[in-house]
Structure 1
Amino acid sequence: MADDDARRALLAANLDTVHGRIADACRVAGRDPQEVGLVVVTKFFPESDVRLLAGLGVTDVGENRHQEASAKAAACADLGLSWHFIGSIQSNKAAAIAAYADVVESVDRVKLVNALDRGAREHGRTVDCLVQVSLDPPTASARGGAAAGDVAAVAEAVAGASALRLRGVMAVAPLGEPPLPAFERLAEVAARLRLEHPDATVVSAGMSGDLEEAIRCGATHVRVGSAVLGPRPPIK
């Protein structure tokens, strides 16, 4: 029990710090902190941490590995959380991901859409989807994401699916480069998307190290792991 209390206290303090950073970044950007949602990335952390987070008011959690995400979502189904799948998606796993994910943030190619839609329909669900946009330079190793020129086609496919809802875009800042110019490019892509799909208002960008830059560029959601949960535990 003492260990649980200590862990809860640590998570509470870290959440306070992150919420403070979000509030400060919004103040600098002239934005309302209520405009920015927090998704706590719980990958590699145990179910017990998810339960502590829920008790501290966290409503949205992110996972990026299907097997872990599926098991954790089932074990924590009583908490009423919104589960965000944020990792690379294999085509043969897409339908299964749609069975538990409330938001799929990493839709980066048209090929995934039919499988996600089929999985959502089979389970009687409607799944929110974000188009993942690649901000990496062409010479960088691919980390997922549609090229800016391909975003419209992926978005149209999602918008045309019966059990999916197009909600906006997601991106990860490039490695080894200043995040601000990349997030400015993302803001331009998001603005173009809204011209065709006015309800696609979500911009998921920014993590523990660059959430301030993302908020400056209009992020509506930030995905934070280590700043809340601490260093990742060893992968089992």
Structure 2
Amino acid sequence: MSPASDERRAQLAANLAAVRAQIERACERVGRSPEEVTLIAVTKTFPADDVRLLAELGVRDFGENRHQEAQEKVAAVADPRLTWHFVGQLQANKARAVAEYASVVHSVDRVRLVSALRRAAAGREHPLRCLVQVDLGDVAEPGGSGGRGGVSPDQVAEVADAVATAPGLVLGGVMAVAPLGAPPGQAFARLARTAAEVREKYPKATWVSAGMSADLEDAIAHGATHVRLGRRLLGERGYDR
């Protein structure tokens, strides 16, 4: 390993230790076990070498939000121990390609996309896990940015039903991004209520994907089972990479 690789590994190891400690503290405050929270490293714009280093440090879940970058990175890393999560907005015409490498799609927000994913999953060995992305814009304060993608809470049941009844798909639960201009705790409390409504009908849909670098503690306090971290773990992104 080169000196630069050694330095990057040490940096990632320190960041990972700090993140895990933060997750532990957040769980302790609300009486949860850290084992209930899965860390997803969101590696968009970062190289495949960072994925390999994080894998060496014990990270097993990785998230990408751009199909082309994800496809290339999965092929470059080629590590069967890893679980790949697609966390970005997904066009229906990219569903088949994404289903070739992703184990989980976090951003299912319409019935038409469910239909595309159902067709895409037809040849898979294992079912494709899908999360319904919830738009939390209704909790944004005046002057805020509103929602950041997803289906409105009153339409979640329709999309969840479509996933749950589609061959080759498994309804995993829900996902959301806290809207800008709203207290994260308020947003994630709204998501928790929606997640509970989904579980009432589908008890195995237990995943709540919520919380990023700036708001993971609020997400954990409101039941997040998966947190998606990029900057806190990998550093500032260089979008010119």
TM-score by length of 2: 0.94
Aligned to 1:187: 192
Question: 1 CA distance for matches of 2:179 and 2:63?
Answer: 20
Aligned to 1:170: 175
Question: 1 CA distance for matches of 2:126 and 2:216?
Answer: 31
SS where residue 39 of structure 2 aligns?
A: strand
Question: 2 CA distance for matches of 1:124 and 1:191?
Answer: 30
**Does the CA contact (< 8 Å) of 1:84 and 1:103 recur in 2?**
yes
Which amino acid is the alignment partner of residue 95 of structure 1? Answer: R
Aligned to 2:217: 212
Question: 2 CA distance for matches of 1:127 and 1:231?
Answer: 31
Which amino acid is the alignment partner of residue 177 of structure 1? Answer: A
| Percentage of identical aligned residues | 57
Question: 1 CA distance for matches of 2:4 and 2:13?
Answer: 14
The number of residues matched between the two structures is: 236
TM-score by length of 1: 0.96
Deviation at 1:215? 0.4
Deviation at 1:235? 3.1
Aligned to 1:22: 23
Aligned to 1:95: 96
Question: 2 CA distance for matches of 1:96 and 1:114?
Answer: 14
**Does the CA contact (< 8 Å) of 2:146 and 2:180 recur in 1?**
no
**Does the CA contact (< 8 Å) of 1:91 and 1:111 recur in 2?**
yes
Task: Structure 2 unaligned segments of length 5 or more: list them.
Answer: none
The 3 A distance-change label for structure 1 pair 44 and 212 is same
Question: 2 CA distance for matches of 1:125 and 1:70?
Answer: 18
Does 2:7 align with 1:2? no
Question: 1 CA distance for matches of 2:220 and 2:151?
Answer: 22
Question: 2 CA distance for matches of 1:77 and 1:4?
Answer: 19
Cα shift readout 1:172-194 (whole Å, capped 9, x = no counterpart):
00112210000000000000000
Question: 1 CA distance for matches of 2:175 and 2:186?
Answer: 15
Question: 2 CA distance for matches of 1:123 and 1:215?
Answer: 32
Aligned to 1:203: 208
1:227 to 220, 225, 232: 232
**Does the CA contact (< 8 Å) of 1:95 and 1:117 recur in 2?**
no
Cα shift readout 1:168-227 (whole Å, capped 9, x = no counterpart):
000000112210000000000000000100000000100000000000001011000000
Task: Structure 1 unaligned segments of length 5 or more: list them.
Answer: none
Aligned to 1:67: 68
**Does the CA contact (< 8 Å) of 1:168 and 1:201 recur in 2?**
yes
